[in-house]
Structure 1
Amino acid sequence: MEIKVRDILGEDITIEDAILLREMIRNNLNVGVSLDFEGFKRIPTTFLNVLLGDLINSFGRSLIFEQVNVKNLSNYTDYSRVVLGTTFKY
């Protein structure tokens, strides 16, 4: 399932939006989710933490890394650090 984040949440995202988006991911985790961040300059790391932290705790890092893909994310390194934690290598 592809989710165009800007179409769902609008231009100004908040932490509360991360919770909404997280539930969309949770409900579609079995089929895989692609998050398209087109139109955003940078997504705050706090947003990514709220978005993925609970999912990682519930399902494990490897499943989330396999089932949740991102596109058009300018700060992919921040995403990788959130998903992969300390195992992330440059």
Structure 2
Amino acid sequence: MMINVREFLGNNFGIEDAIVLREEIKKNLNDGVTLDFTGMERVPSTFLTCLFSDLINKNGREAIFNAINVNNLTNYSDFARVVMGTTFLN
């Protein structure tokens, strides 16, 4: 499933909106999810942490990294560090 994050959350999203997006991801996790960040500037790592921490705790880092793809994220390294842990290096 492809989710355009900007269309899904709007332009003025906050940390709390990560919970809404996470629920949508959970519904489609078994089918694979692609998050498209087109038109968004740098996404705060706190947003990414809130978005993925519960999913990681329930499914494991590797499973989430393999099930969720991201497109057009200007700070992909932050995503990788959140999902794969702080020792992940590009």
Give the TM-score of the pair, scaled to structure 2: 0.96
Unaligned runs of 5+ in 2: none
Instruction: Tell me the amino acid that sits aligned with residue 40 of structure 1.
Output: M
- 5+ residue gaps, structure 1, are none
State the number of aligned residues: 90
Q: What are the equivalent positions in structure 2 for 1:66-85 lying under 5 Å apart?
A: 66-85=66-85
CA distance, structure 2, for counterparts of residue 29 and residue 76 of structure 1? 20
- Which consecutive aligned stretches of 4+ in structure 1 deviate over 2 angstroms post-superposition? none
Cα distance between partner residues in 2 of 1:33 and 1:87: 24
Aligned to 1:64: 64
Q: Does residue 27 of the first structure (1) align with residue 27 of the second (2)? A: yes
Identity score, percent: 58
Q: Cα RMSD (Å) of the superposition?
A: 0.8
CA distance in 1, matches of 2:13, 2:70: 16
